[in-house]
Amino acid sequence: MKIQFNMNKSLSLRIAVYVLSFCMLLFLLVLLVFFFFSRKQIEEMTLKNAEIITSKSAMDVERTILPIIRVAQNYKWILENKQQSSAELYEMTRQVVENNPDVIGSAIAFEPNFFEKEGLYFSPYSYRENDSIKSMQLGNASYDYFYMDWYQIPVATGKSGWSEPYHDTGGGNSLMTTYSVPFYKNVNNEKKIAGVITFDLSLNKFTDSVSSLKILETGYATVLSANGTFVTHPKKELIMNQTIFSYASEINNPELREIGRIIQKENSGYVSSTLNGVERMLYFKKLSSSNWSIAVVFPKSEMYLPLHKISIILIVLVCIGLLLLAVIVSKIISRQIIPLRHFAGSAREIAKGNFSNQLPLIKRNDELKDLHNSFEYMQRKLTQYIEDLKQTAIAKEKIESELRIAREIQMGMIPKIFPPFPNLIEIDLYATLHPAKEVGGDLYDFFMLDENHICFAIGDVSGKGVPASLFMAVTRTLLRSVAPDQMTTRGIVNSLNKSLSTNNDSNMFVTFFLGIIELNTGIMTYTNAGHNPPVLIHPNGEVKAFEMTKDIPVGVFETFEYEEKTLRLSDNDKLFLYTDGVTEAENKEEEFYSEKRLITMLSKNYSLTPKDLISVVSGDVALHVNENEQSDDITMLSIVYYGSKR
Amino acid sequence: MNISFETKSNFTVIHLTGRIDVTNSNDLETELIRLFEDDRYNLLINCAELNYISSSGLRVFLLAQKKVMAAQGDLIICSLQPMIREIFDISGLSTIFKICKSEEEALQKI
């Protein structure tokens, strides 16, 4: 039960794992594609956003500055073409401050002694202080404005422009910049420099708006003046104290210096660089009305932060989904293969021999139905086969039992009581017949013809099986019935031969040795019809096989005339008769026991009684055969003649 | 056991190889009967490669001898290995069969 359970589990699990692996791969691919395209999209979007923010800030600045520039141009035209009184000049400066909230102060500074009645210095100046506007004359010996940047540079270059940012030393700690415009007068048809108009602008509002710009998590905006001074920057210590170039050399970052150059040279663009160990993107734009630049800086990694968040959520969701999928898939498969489990059970039942075991019911017409049909077919066939086998076995059993009975009858015909003639002092006799597994055709027999004659025989029917055993039985029966009439070995064998040869279409024959011993004399007559010559063992240990005769086996030719020979046994002479089952006993190497070994064995044990002699030879044959199956009957007969006067 | 045939003059030469025992003596019998059905009663059995013959085999030889004699044909056995020859001698069957030492000798006798 457990094995089966595991099998099912592992099958569903395996399929679930396959499905899951495929889904995982698919998801990974989708995620990669999504990630790749999203990244691109986000990159573009972020940069666009940075551009818009920067442009908007730039536009805000321009909106503040442009009116001032227009006023400046206007004032320049007035000053160059109209004669103004000093009071009017004061008024002009006052008005511009009053009308433009971003303008903190304005001055119209004249060249030395340009206004003769006002002396060397003349620069009407109005400025905002708290909520009121005050006017004053700016120049004097201690504030020699001719040498100030805001005056000196426009005069020298003849161009309007914005000064570098500076801290207002007078009114509050606000960051300022000054827009200076030089103006001229025609003196003796000659255009001569007359002075410089200035507007002081507070940068506070501007820097506040830029500083408040936020891009992504830690992105920031910065404003650089024309020469690269930080006008605004999240790091307050940089503002007004460092230029991008001085900062670059301070932190030893040549890349930053290069960026500074690009910003100065180009109108707008992107650069990326590693700043403070983080890869950052930078977008900058130059203000059209000045050479100042606004730049936004943000870490590149932050661009992808939302993407990473989405990705993590997606992965978690998909993992949960895949887990659910795995559970559902394995559940579905488990359910689908329940019949398989039943089939396994059925198979086990069938193995136990229970062929009528109920198979699981399959309603669907699928592979399981096929399996069901195959199983059903197997059950049917097995039942039939087993039935056939039973019949065969019964038939075989019958034949075997008949064979056994035949064997028993055959063996029953052989005398097996030893000593057979306890009252005879002249001889002792012993014989054995070890039947082979298959019914064979060996025989031996002995009986008294009369009080003074003992008749003994040994024979071997050709072939094996029931025919041989039948032939043996016939031979033995004939022998007993013929012997009392004939009384000589020749007569007996001739008579036997005639009977057996007649109508012997199967050409079966029996090799046959027949002997008769006259007990009071020891004279033995014998006829050997093609049988292995017996061995004569003298009491002195001399062992000798009988000579071969020219007589053929019994049952071959009806008209054959057999010979009879005579031999006189001395006292204690012993005879040893055997069938070829002894000499042709084979071991596994197909080696025969052989006549030679038999003779040697008999020589060694010449003094033993017939019973012991046969027992010793039997043992030796068994030793030779070892584990090989006995293929033929093994028959031995031994007689000792003690003599008449014992 | 292996049986092969060849024809030399008017004799059918039968080459026997291996062992003839109770398990295959019937095969030999079948082959021989087939020859007799073809009226081939002049047989020379070459036993040079025959290693063992049991009494079942001898029975088939005897059967052949009887059929040949009845049909007034000729059966010669040649090239017997010593052990087979001994079996023939012990059983006295060497007196019934024409036995030659070699195939050449047998063919000369014909």
Task: Render pLDDT for A280-299 as a digit per residue (tens, 0 to 9).
Answer: 888 999 887 778 898 988 88
Strand partners, A283: A270, A296
Q: In percent, how much of chain A has pLDDT > 90?
A: 34
Prediction ipTM score: 0.86
A552 touches B: beta carbon within 8 Å: yes
Pick from B54, B63, B95: CB nearest A550: B95
CA A78/CA B21 separation, integer angstroms: 150
Give chain A's mean pLDDT. 87
* Closest B-chain CA to A590: B52
Q: What stretches of chain B adopt beta strand conformation (E)?
A: 2-8, 11-20, 42-53, 74-78, 98-100
Please calculate the CA angle A337-A343-A349 and round it to the nearest 5 degrees: 150
pLDDT on residue A388? 93
pLDDT digit string, tens, across residues A521-563? 999 999 999 999 999 999 999 999 999 888 999 998 889 999 9
* Buried b / exposed e along A81-114 (16+ C-beta atoms within 10 A): eeebeeeebbbbbbebbeebebbbbbbbbbbeeb
Q: Which two tokens stand for residue A289?
A: 């009305």
Residue A185 belongs to what H/E stretch?
strand A175-186
Per-residue pLDDT of A200-221, as tens digits, reads 888 888 888 888 888 888 888 8
Using CB atoms, pick whichever of B22, B56, B90 lies closest to residue A532: B90
Q: Choose among B55, B56, B92: nearest Cβ to A552.
A: B92
CA angle A341, A342, A346 (to 5 degrees): 120
- Over the stretch A625-636, which tens digit does the pLDDT of each residue have? 988 888 888 999
Nearest CA of chain A to the CA of B10: how many Å?
Answer: 27
Closest CA to A91 of A78, A101, A77: A78
Which residue would you say has higher pLDDT here, A129 or A587? A587
**What is the C-alpha to C-alpha distance for residues A645 and A3, in angstroms, rounded to an integer?**
85
CB-based contact A95:A206 (threshold 8 Å): no
Structure tokens, A181: 């415009």
Taking alpha carbons only, the member of A438, A439, A473, A449 closest to residue A459 is A473
Give chain A positions within 8 Å (CB) of B92: 528-530, 548-553
Name chain A contacts of B63, Cβ cutoff 8 Å: 507
Dihedral angle sign, alpha carbons of residues A270, A271, A275, A280 = positive
A&B contacts, CB < 8 Å: 59
Contacts of A580 in chain B (CB under 8 A): 55
Q: Which of A439, A442, A462, A580 would you mutate first to test chain B, the one with the most B CBs within 10 A?
A: A462
Q: Which residue of B has its CA nearest to A509?
A: B59
**Predicted pLDDT at A7:** 52
A553 in B contact zone (CB under 8 Å): yes
Best CA proximity match to A174, nearest among A182, A183, A165? A165
Percent of chain A with pLDDT over 70: 98
Q: State yes or no: pLDDT of A5 exceeds 70.
A: no
**Strand ranges for A571-633 from DSSP E:** 573-578
pLDDT recorded at residue A516? 96
- Which residues in chain B come in under a pLDDT of 50? none
Interstrand relation of B98-100 and B74-78 (parallel, antiparallel or unpaired): parallel
What number of other Cβ atoms are within 10 A of residue B32's Cβ? 23
Which two tokens mark B30?
């079948």
DSSP at A212: T
- Give me the CATH code for the B2-105 domain, please: 3.30.750.24
> A463, B22: Cβ pair inside 8 Å?
yes
User: Please, what's the b/e burial string for A448-465 (b: 16 or more CB within 10 A of its CB; e: otherwise)?
Assistant: ebeeebbbbbbbbbbbbe
pLDDT at A389 over 50: yes
Over range A565-594, report the average pLDDT: 92
- Say how many CA atoms lie within 13 Å of A563 toward its Cβ: 11
**Is B59 in contact with A460 (Cβ distance < 8 A)?**
no
**Phi, psi dihedral angles at B6 (to 5 degrees):** -150, 155
Ranges of each domain in chain B: 2-105
Give the integer Cα–Cα distance in Å for A121 and A567.
Answer: 185
Strongest mean pLDDT among A48-57, A93-102, A608-617? A608-617
Digit-coded pLDDT (tens) for A442-498: 999 999 999 999 999 999 998 888 888 888 989 999 999 999 988 899 999 999 999
Of A335 and A576, which is predicted with more confidence?
A: A576
Look at residues B20, B22, B14 and name the one whose alpha carbon lies nearest to residue B79.
B14
Residue A438 has pLDDT above 80, yes or no: no
All residues of chain B having their beta carbon less than 8 Å from the beta carbon of residue A531 are 90-91
User: Which H or E element spans position A621?
Assistant: helix A610-625
The string of DSSP codes covering A303-322 is HTHHHHHHHHHHHHHHHHHH
- Give chain A positions within 8 Å (CB) of B70: none
The better pLDDT of the pair B97, A366 is held by B97
User: Most A CBs within 10 Å: which of B36, B86, B90, as the mutation test of the A interface?
Assistant: B90
Residue-wise pLDDT for A32-45, tens only, equals 998 889 888 888 88
Residue B75 near residue B97 (C-beta atoms within 8 A): yes
Q: Do B92 and A549 touch (CB under 8 A)?
A: yes
Task: List the single range of A55-64, A248-257, A600-609 with lowest mean pLDDT.
Answer: A55-64
Alpha-carbon distance A99 to A101, whole Å? 6
Are residues B92 and A580, on separate chains, in Cβ contact within 8 Å?
Answer: no
Distances (CA, A) of A378 to A340, A354, A381, A386, A544: 16, 12, 5, 12, 68
Please indicate whether, in this complex, the C-beta atoms of B92 and A529 are within 8 angstroms of each other. yes
Closest C-alpha among A468, A520, A470, A515 to residue A646: A520
CA distance A96 to B93: 160
> Which domains does chain A carry?
41-196 (3.30.450.20), 206-306 (3.30.450.20), 413-641 (3.60.40.10)
Per-residue pLDDT at A34: 87
The confidence score (pLDDT) of residue B85 equals 92
Find out whether A193 and A184 touch, Cβ atoms under 8 Å.
Answer: yes
How many secondary structure helices (H) and strands (E) does chain A include?
Answer: 15, 22
Q: Is the Cβ–Cβ distance between A66 and A58 less than 8 Å?
A: no
3-state SS assignment for residue A4: helix
Residue of chain B with shortest Cα separation from A467: B56
Find the helix packing angle between A595-604 and A610-625, rounded to 10°.
140
Q: What is the rounded average pLDDT of the residues A365-369?
A: 82
Tell me the one-letter amino acid at A560: F
Q: A556 in contact with B at a CB cutoff of 8 Å? A: yes
Q: By the 8 A CB rule, do A197 and A107 touch?
A: yes
Q: Do A531 and B90 touch (CB under 8 A)?
A: yes
Higher pLDDT, A377 or B109: A377
Lowest pLDDT segment from A51-65, A537-551, A597-611: A51-65
Looking at residue A236, the DSSP 8-state letter turns out to be G
pLDDT attached to residue A391: 93
User: Tell me, what DSSP letter sits at residue A606?
Assistant: T
Identify the pLDDT of residue A235: 85
Per DSSP, A45 falls in state H
Taking the CA of residue A430 as centre, how many other CA atoms within 13 Å lie in the half-sphere pointing to its CB?
Answer: 13
